[in-house]
Amino acid sequence: MTLDNNAESFLNSDLSRALLELDGVETLAIHEQDLGTMNSCFARITSSKTPFPRLRNLQFTELDLYNSSYGRSDYISLNTEPWRNGSPLRIFLEQRRKMGVPIEVLDYNLCLGGRRNLSFLEEEMNDIGLKIKWTSVAVLNPSSPNETLVTVYEEYVCGSGNPGKLELWCTDAEYLSRFAYLTIQPVYSGSFFTFVEALRRTEVRPSVTTALQLLLPDNHQGQHKEVMGGQSSPPIEKIPIEILWRIFWMNTDMDEDEPVLNRQHIHTRKRALTSTRRSSQVCSHWRQVLLRSPSIWGRVIDLDLFQWQRTGHWMEEVFRRTAESPLHIKGDPRRHKVDYLVDLLDIAWDRVCVLHVHVAVDKQQFDRISEIVSRPARSLQIFSLDVQVAERSLTDKPAFTVRLFAGEAPFLKRYHHFPVSGTSFIQCPLWLSNLHTIIFTGEISPFDFTASQLLRTIKQMLRLEVLRLHFAFPSTDYLDECNDYDRVKLPNLHHIEIFESDAWPLTKFIDAFEPEPGCSIGVLTRHGSDSIENTTRDGLVLLLKAIYRYSDSYFRLFPPNSVHIEYQPQHLIIRDTSTSKPADLRLSLDIWTTWRQQADEIAPPALTSTELASFLYPPTAEGNKNYFQGVKQLSLSSYADAKTIHPSYIDLLSMLAGLENVETLSISERSLATFNSCIAKLKKIAIAFPSVWREIWVKIIARTIFAFSALSLLLQCIYVAEIENANKELT
């Protein structure tokens, strides 16, 4: 029934009595002003009869507006507070509740200013027990009442993306957190609330309506019958709780999170916390499982996501849901969220399981963090805390002077050391023997200990599996100290990764280890001794000899089937691109042999063909063993000048061309020209890559015509009969 008239006398006593006879009314659409008139009429006649006994849905067709001094009538009065004591709406709702027939749905869909009035909702509405329904997007900017109507809150479309059929939802949790219930329009054709971010933080009360009714479109209720009616449950509720919980658990991996760079990314980027939150809004069954699983919420303390929230309500709610479960904390909080992080660590340090944080703090915050990390860490498993003190008045960068974790971190498996940790690491705490992965990062500030001290400490880590050092030491720290040590033998070590600006100390350090079978190595270095050519070359040869012990151990156990090789006068790259091991645990060499070179200078290669061959084809007891003989996919780059090719290039490419099993060759246009020139200078032209005719990938970098010309030359060396077919495939 719709009552919509602005005349004050529209509802008189006679009409009211007639309305009382309409016992079947379930939905009442009415102007707010008429509702006030109805209240006064009903107050005189409700002693003998309950008006509209079946009424559950109240729709506001319009709210009171006022004419501003600017002559506009479309502003929503700031004094219109439908929930205030004595308001027509509140009187009507309280009357219905006292009669035992309360209103369940308050629908703002037809109301121009429905959204604005949401700001006046009070907590006592929870006792009234309402579902709130609205789609209005026009709101008044409270800070500028003399401006035109504007949209203050962020909004987005929920579902399949058809604005004509879908409902727009406010994402401001400060208001939506007060809502008891939310419903959707009957015309809604999308999926469940896939993108709705803000719902009430407490349980939905089934005495009013089921969660299924809240989350399904009205026109789909025939397909998914109500649970409360004792009929069949929807398929979504038939998933066993154990499987459902496991799925939720798998979705809490924050290592796979996409970066959040602005506020819009909160809703569009894949984040573990966002997935968990949306899962809790699918249906009452899922919500109950998640709200009763504090360990899941404890795994998604996402500081990056929290920093884009307007308020701290959601951040506090997530922490409340963790109860006493272990905490996984990750992110790069900005200044206004640093205090929250410090407070969180202070009150819940015993529960912190994973800490992966980069943060800039002031001196006071740094002192608090220093005190916190000096406490025992009985739950800590992963520790990566990079603290930068952002105060210009400090001439020296502060470092922790405390003993980390008071020497007590029995479950710590992964430790990331930054310069801020000072010398605390080499104090030989008991937790060292449990470490599986250790990472040192010192790109900005060097560490306060030397390689000899580090080696002495590492010897105690018999369970160590991965060692990573990223510019961790000054280049002069361990030139002479490593000679006095026997090689370090760690039975479980399967990957060493070192980024160092100087090849000399790098050579000394990696030579101090005895690699286990299958142990891989990752090296990135810029050789600093480029003033004398022989010194540069000799240093590189010594480095390759040290690396050879690792490559030999690695390739014996993991023979490659895919390799990337890049060879320039000043740059050598060799990477195993096979899939036998994870990408970050494969063998990888990236060696720059000089720091600088004049623009018009043509530097000779740092390695001779013999030296390079001894590395790629190392001598063994059975003779020369070619670990690359089984390679089927080869990515090749060689940016030498085709007119001034050094003999070592010819020998190198000749050796690579002899790989009989290569089926896929990935090569750039320029490298292809260099390769053709090398092949042309060979005295004996053999069939290069005899199997590569099956598939050829040419990366076009410059002119397409030149690429086909260069490719034709290559095909002449591969298989003359295949030129025509290959050109057809490429076109």
As a whole number of angstroms, the distance between CA 290 and CA 321 comes to 9
Task: Please tell me the least confidently modeled range out of 242-251, 346-355, 710-719.
Answer: 710-719
Task: Give the bridge partners for 139, in sequence order.
Answer: 150
Which strands make up the sheet holding 131-133, listed edge to edge? 2-3, 27-31, 57-62, 105-107, 131-133
- With a cut of 80, say whether residue 554 has pLDDT above it: yes
How does strand 301-302 pair with strand 520-526? unpaired
Pairing type for strands 633-637 and 623-624 reads unpaired
The confidence score (pLDDT) of residue 347 equals 92
The 3-class secondary structure across 259-312, one letter per residue, is: CCCCCCHHHHCCCHHHHHHHHCCCCHHHHHHHHCCHHHHHCCEEHHHHCCCCCC
User: Is the whole-model pTM more than 0.85?
Assistant: no
pLDDT-derived band at 492, boundaries 50, 70, 90: very high
- pLDDT, residue 355, reads 93
By the 10 Å C-beta count (0-12 exposed, 13-18 middle, 19+ buried), 178 is classed as: middle
Other Cβ atoms closer than 10 A to 218: 13
What is the band of 232 on the pLDDT scale with cuts at 50, 70, 90?
A: low
pLDDT over threshold 90, residue 307: no
Position 279 scores a pLDDT of 87
Question: Pick the residue with more confidence: 64 or 251?
Answer: 251
Residue 460 φ/ψ, nearest 5 degrees = -80, -10
Is 359 or 569 the better-scoring residue by pLDDT? 359
Tell me the average pLDDT across 197-225.
Answer: 33
- 651: how many CB neighbours lie within 10 A of its CB? 17
**CA Rg, the chain, in Å?**
36
CA distance linking residue 166 with residue 272, whole number of Å: 26
568, part of any domain: no
pLDDT at position 284 over 50: yes
pLDDT band at 221 (very low <50, low <70, confident <90, very high): very low
Q: Is residue 500 part of a domain?
A: no
Highest mean pLDDT among 29-38, 450-459, 485-494: 485-494
State the pLDDT at residue 612.
65
Q: What is the pLDDT of residues 431-465, one digit of tens each?
A: 888 889 988 887 655 566 777 777 888 888 889 99
Cα separation, 210 vs 488, in Å, equals 65
Report residue 484 as tokens: 């006095």
Q: Which residue has the higher pLDDT, 621 or 589?
A: 589
The CA-atom distances, in angstroms, between 248 and each of 192, 272, 352, 356, 465 are 17, 10, 20, 21, 30
Angle between helices 533-557 and 609-616 (to 10 degrees): 20
Distance CA 267, CA 196 (A): 9
> Considering only CA atoms, which of 194, 359, 381 is closest in space to residue 279?
194
The token pair at 356 is 């992966």
Q: Is the pLDDT of residue 341 over 60?
A: yes
- The pLDDT, as a whole number, for residue 117 is 38
Is the pLDDT confidence value at 283 over 70?
A: yes
Q: Is the pLDDT of residue 45 over 90?
A: no
- pLDDT score, position 383: 92
Strands 619-620, 520-526: pairing kind: unpaired
pLDDT(717) > 70: no
Q: How many domains does the chain have?
A: 1
- Among 322, 274, 267, smallest CA distance to 299 is for 322
Beta bridge pairs of residue 156: 169
Q: What is the DSSP string of 391-417?
A: -TT-SSPP---SPGGGG--TT--EEEE
Q: What pLDDT is attached to residue 658?
A: 75
The mean-pLDDT minimum among 259-273, 367-381, 487-501, 690-704 falls in 690-704
Q: What token pair was written down for 263? A: 């506020």
Q: Residue 354's pLDDT is what?
A: 94
Q: What is the pLDDT of residue 707?
A: 43
Report the alpha-carbon distance of residue 58 to residue 60 in Å, rounded: 7
Question: What does the alpha-carbon distance between residue 464 and residue 483 come to, in Å, rounded to a whole number?
Answer: 23
Mean pLDDT check: name the lowest of 80-84, 166-170, 515-519, 618-622.
Answer: 166-170
Q: Which residues have CB under 8 Å from 124's CB, separation 6+?
A: 83
More confident position, 283 or 123: 283
Q: Which of 140-149, 400-409, 524-533 has the lowest mean pLDDT?
A: 140-149
Q: How far out from the chain centre does Cα 601 lie?
A: 45
The yes-or-no verdict on residue 175 having pLDDT over 70 is no
Q: Is residue 67 part of a domain?
A: yes
pLDDT for residue 267: 64
How far apart CA 132 and CA 152 sit, in angstroms, is: 19
Give the model's pLDDT for residue 381.
Answer: 92
On the question of pLDDT at 158 being above 70, the answer is no
Determine the Cα–Cα distance for residues 417 and 436; give it in Å rounded to an integer. 14
Check pLDDT > 50 for residue 556.
yes
Domain annotation covers residue 214: yes
Q: How far, in Å, CA of 301 to CA of 331, rounded? A: 9
d(CA 363, CA 329): 22
* Band of pLDDT at residue 195, cut at 50, 70 and 90: very low
Q: Answer yes or no: is pLDDT of 78 > 50.
A: no
Beta bridge partners of 561: none
Decide which of 647 and 82 is more confident. 647
What's the pLDDT at 472? 65
Instruction: Examine residue 526 and state whether it is found in any structural domain, yes or no.
Output: no
Question: How far apart are the C-alpha atoms of 410 and 421, rounded to whole Å?
Answer: 19
> How does residue 229 score in pLDDT terms, banded at 50, 70 and 90?
very low
Residue 382 has pLDDT above 90, yes or no: yes
**Tokens of residue 178, six digits:** 């007060």
Q: Domain for residue 392, yes or no?
A: no
Tell whether 179 is covered by a domain: yes
Range of the domain at 17: 2-224
In the block, tokens 């993306």 appear at 161
User: What value does the mean pLDDT take over residues 500-507?
Assistant: 73
Closest by Cα among 123, 125, 78, 87 to 106: 125
Compute CA distances 146 → 66, 68, 69, 76, whole Å: 13, 8, 9, 11
Share of the chain above pLDDT 90, in %: 7
What's the maximum distance between 2 C-alpha atoms anywhere in the chain?
A: 115
Q: Which amino acid is at 330?
A: K
pLDDT score for 30: 77
Residue 77 falls inside a structural domain: yes
Q: What is the mean pLDDT of the chain?
A: 66
Helix axes of 335-348 and 363-372: crossing angle, nearest 10 degrees: 20
DSSP assigned state of 462:
T
Here the tokens at position 1 are: 């029934």
The CB density around residue 594, as the number of other CB atoms within 10 Å, is: 19
- Residue 513 phi, psi (nearest 5): -110, 150
DSSP string, 73-121: --SBPTT--TTSTT-HHHHHHHHHHHTT----EEE-TT-TTHHHHGGG-
- Amino acid letter at 292? R
Under 8 Å between Cβ of 436 and 463: yes
Confidence at 2, pLDDT banded by 50, 70, 90: low
Give 469 or 535, the one with higher predicted confidence: 469
Question: In this prediction, what percent of the chain has a pLDDT beyond 70?
Answer: 48
Mean pLDDT of 149-159: 29
- Provide the pLDDT confidence category of residue 618 given band limits of 50, 70 and 90: low
